[in-house]
Amino acid sequence: MPASENHLIQCNECPIRHRSVCARCDADEFALLDSIKFYKSYKAGDPVLWRGEPLEFVASVVSGVATLTKTLEDGRTQMVGLLLPSDFIGRPGRSQIDFDVTATVDLTLCCFDRKRFEALIRDVPHIAQRLMELALDELDAARDWMLLLGRKTAREKIATFIEMLARRSHPGEHDPAKLLMLEMTRDQIANYLGLTLETVSRQFNALKKEGVIDFSGRKTIVVLNYAALQDASGDDADGGVLL
């Protein structure tokens, strides 16, 4: 089991401070959260939660990436989502988790005892409001995921994936950061997007050849032309799908 470590990061120094569930909290509310938080660290490949097991804590991803998966009765596994920094794990009011959660790379979570957190959100409207915003963002992401799997070509899937990483790395920016850490292997990306490993590699190389992206080492993507990347995703300027 991964070790729990208490108060490794001060809230005012937290890298997800302005995006997490506590983004709207004032000093007094931070103090309340600080009194019930603890950290958990996981190595790449470690299970975080298993589907159906008791949900003893809820958490925000501080660093790293985790996957959400479901396994069918015949053993087939489908990755249904990614958890990136500032994403929230767990649902107040639910005593079990509905998905398997696994650390893709080394992962750090800021955790809160579920029952104490549920009691806290009844008294702290800022946390309840932010939880609703995060839930609505997750709903939008799920709808985009349905579109990606059901209608987009392999090229569009890869471009959408890179563009999503850019937006999530620097939310709110019109032209997100050009350097992106690629935490997942190409095999993991293939599983996530419903593609073969060969197709993923071919599409990455095609975007590189066209001058849309480049690579700086094994785990860094350089976005050379963000507008071209958006065009390759198949989405128009208003977020719809180009037909």
Give 32-70 pLDDT, tens digit per residue: 888 889 999 999 999 999 988 888 999 999 999 998 888
Span 148-190, pLDDT tens digits: 777 889 999 999 989 888 887 765 555 655 778 887 889 888 9
Q: Determine how many CB atoms are found less than 10 A away from the CB of residue 165.
A: 22
140 and 36, same structural domain?
yes
114 and 49, same structural domain?
yes
Span 97-143, pLDDT tens digits: 888 999 988 999 999 999 999 988 888 888 888 888 888 888 887 77
51: CATH: 2.60.120.10
Range of the domain at 222: 153-232
- Res 20: pLDDT: 86
Distances (CA, A) of 211 to 54, 206, 214: 48, 9, 7
Does any domain span residue 243?
Answer: no
- Res 177: pLDDT: 59
Asked if 14 and 62 touch (Cβ cutoff 8 Å), the reply is yes
Decide which of 126, 144, 162 is a domain's last residue. Answer: 144
Does any domain span residue 237?
Answer: no
73 and 42, same structural domain?
yes
61 and 22, same structural domain?
yes
Decide which of 127, 144, 161 is a domain's last residue. Answer: 144
- Say what the pTM is: 0.79
Does any domain span residue 66?
Answer: yes
Decide which of 144, 176, 203 is a domain's last residue. Answer: 144
Domain count, the chain: 2
- Mean pLDDT for 18-26 is 83
165 and 140, same structural domain?
no
Does any domain span residue 241?
Answer: no
Residue 187: alpha-carbon gap to chain centroid: 18
Does any domain span residue 86?
Answer: yes
Band (pLDDT 50/70/90 cuts) for residue 196 is: very high
What percent of the chain is modeled with pLDDT above 90?
A: 31
95 and 195, same structural domain?
no
